[in-house]
Structure 1
């Protein structure tokens, strides 16, 4: 791994580098992750200086529109990012005393599905259509635990019961195509939690499901997390999901974290213009008060990425300072940080009034 620049840490109430989470020793501490892709401009990181930490038993939600770098960050943590075309050019990710970004392929394989696990967005593309549900859950158990195949199948049956799949004995011998989307997602959750991981990464696990099934899956994930004490990174663009499950939030835009903080602070006092735009675009159940807010423009491609703040072309407050100089992730309040030269924005709003 090439470290082509010193990593920046923010000093705040929780000490240097503690960007998310209240634990003095977070389960996961990601610092300065930067990723480039072959074919992109050489001086542009598609994921740029991303830092956050996840406390034990806590849930961090990574929020942002499609293409902002959420899933790429998660795949890098899991060691599933294809290299090439991707290259990790800077960063560290300390997890249980090991830097995940520096592990070799054998060490990563030992970690995946055991201490760390991931639930993907579309279970039909993640489950093997040629093998039964029982075989696929048991495979990971046998890989990481010294148990017989019969014992692994018994554990698989136990997990199907935990995720409340009807007739679990019958479902063990079923194939993925014989189950509904909601049942397949429950199978993915059972598979991910079968070895009692310390960290679960869920990449938009409810996007492909209808609203009723989404609610059931979220309730299930929360219940299992409470029972096991597993920490979780939930990747989503749905602020309703964030309000439902998050302890902490990291908002990403164009490959950078632009705001972090406790979920209450992000919802009640958003301080980055992008976060404010996301909040304003959410419909409510009450009586509509005019049109929903929109964020003008679109995310710039890598070859047109602004030199300074990447949100500059779409920001109503931007000026030449924003265009030329990338702002740091500065502290607004204890645990609450925003990557904006004019945060807290109440000051800028007052000047514009």
Structure 2
């Protein structure tokens, strides 16, 4: 399915579903989350004032280049950030009305792998090489469900079938090194979904895979999500993936959410210069007209972070105000927000003309 068709169908789905979800509270609600690392310059947070929400059965894509804070945010929500050096210094994160940031480690462990689950980037470093695939899937089932080891193994076999691993009975007794990268990632999906979680966080689950396997894994995740009604946060730097799977999008840059909104609004009318730069760098299947756009420069290191908008050194519209005053995440239209002094950017273009 092409990006245009995806955006059109997504827009229709939003129109139909808006009335139904208008009064439904989000499953996950993150507000003003800020995270610091020990030794960072004063006032510089690796994740700074980040807010977003996810509703039941919906997909939020968090997009941005490496180092923007996407994975740190997800690990904080799962309670997997080592403290120290990481410290949550502000904000809240509620899951089904429960404050995640005030839970004890035992309460976190009860939640993690049960109602909340995560798929990591590299399955080879996430799976234990000393245990069989079946044992590793069954372990989480026994931990959170009152079942015997035999019943857990039956459930593990059922999950391997659901993720369409060939010869699942044989793979149940296999070790991670005996499987390909694509099959190991399917195992990670089976493990994450074994207890029917309400929220799934997928941190760039296809990064290490070739293009064909990437498409298969994404289609698999979508199919299982539709079957179970699981909400999902998909972390990615690939806008093609975003166009295919997202309901909502949050664009992150240097620890800030710089733009967020429904996927069709982000693709049809991006309002932050960074989002526009990302869009321009995506290759097209059609006839190429000149070179792909690039975003000049690199993400500034913590000690050189601008006082104001963190995108200032790379932004074609920046001025003294941008360098010295941090813009708020302002609403462009209902549900569509951008952190830019000159959004909507049509005003800036008009003034420049």
State the TM bucket, normalised to the shorter chain.
over 0.9
Q: 1:205: which partner in 2?
A: 205
Cα distance in 2 between the residues matched to 1:30 and 1:46: 16
Q: 2:34: which partner in 1?
A: 34
Secondary structure at the aligned position of 1:350 is classed as helix
Are 2:138 and 1:138 equivalent residues in the alignment? yes
Q: 2:147: which partner in 1?
A: 147
Q: Is the contact made by 2:329 and 2:340 (CA closer than 8 Å) also made in structure 1?
A: yes
Are 2:91 and 1:91 equivalent residues in the alignment? yes
Cα distance in 2 between the residues matched to 1:130 and 1:346: 58
Are 2:126 and 1:126 equivalent residues in the alignment? yes
Are 2:180 and 1:184 equivalent residues in the alignment? no
Gaps of 5+ in 1: 1-20
Q: CA deviation at 1:296?
A: 0.8
Q: 1:299: which partner in 2?
A: 299
Cα distance in 1 between the residues matched to 2:151 and 2:270: 50
Q: Deviations over 1:108-157 (max 9, x none)?
A: 10010000000000000000000000000000000000000000000000
Q: 1:223: which partner in 2?
A: 223
Aligned-CA RMSD value: 0.9
Cα distance in 2 between the residues matched to 1:67 and 1:248: 21
Q: 1:240: which partner in 2?
A: 240
Q: CA deviation at 1:43?
A: 1.5
Q: CA deviation at 1:321?
A: 1.0
Q: Is the contact made by 2:26 and 2:96 (CA closer than 8 Å) also made in structure 1?
A: no
Secondary structure at the aligned position of 1:25 is classed as coil
TM-score (norm 2): 0.93
Cα distance in 1 between the residues matched to 2:310 and 2:170: 52
Secondary structure at the aligned position of 1:32 is classed as strand
Secondary structure at the aligned position of 1:72 is classed as helix
Gaps of 5+ in 2: 1-20
Q: CA deviation at 1:24?
A: 3.3
Cα distance in 2 between the residues matched to 1:165 and 1:46: 38
Q: CA deviation at 1:102?
A: 1.2
Secondary structure at the aligned position of 1:147 is classed as coil
Secondary structure at the aligned position of 1:310 is classed as coil
Q: Which of 127-136 and 94-103 deviates more?
A: 94-103
Q: 2:314: which partner in 1?
A: 314
Q: CA deviation at 1:23?
A: 5.8
Cα distance in 1 between the residues matched to 2:102 and 2:75: 14
Cα distance in 2 between the residues matched to 1:95 and 1:57: 14
Secondary structure at the aligned position of 1:136 is classed as helix
Q: CA deviation at 1:22?
A: 5.7
Cα distance in 1 between the residues matched to 2:35 and 2:292: 34
Distance 1:160 1:59, change over 3 A: same
Q: Is the contact made by 1:23 and 1:55 (CA closer than 8 Å) also made in structure 2?
A: no
Cα distance in 2 between the residues matched to 1:309 and 1:137: 45
Q: Is the contact made by 1:30 and 1:50 (CA closer than 8 Å) also made in structure 2?
A: yes
Determine which structure has the larger helix proportion and give its number.
2
Cα distance in 1 between the residues matched to 2:24 and 2:96: 13
Q: CA deviation at 1:42?
A: 2.3
Q: 1:173: which partner in 2?
A: 173
Q: Deviations over 1:182-226 (max 9, x none)?
A: 000000000000000000000000010000000000000000000
Q: Is the contact made by 1:282 and 1:292 (CA closer than 8 Å) also made in structure 2?
A: yes
Q: Is the contact made by 1:114 and 1:144 (CA closer than 8 Å) also made in structure 2?
A: yes
Q: Deviations over 1:30-55 (max 9, x none)?
A: 00000000111122111000000001
Q: 1:339: which partner in 2?
A: 339
Distance 1:66 1:44, change over 3 A: same
Give the number of equivalent residue pairs: 333
Cα distance in 2 between the residues matched to 1:65 and 1:23: 34
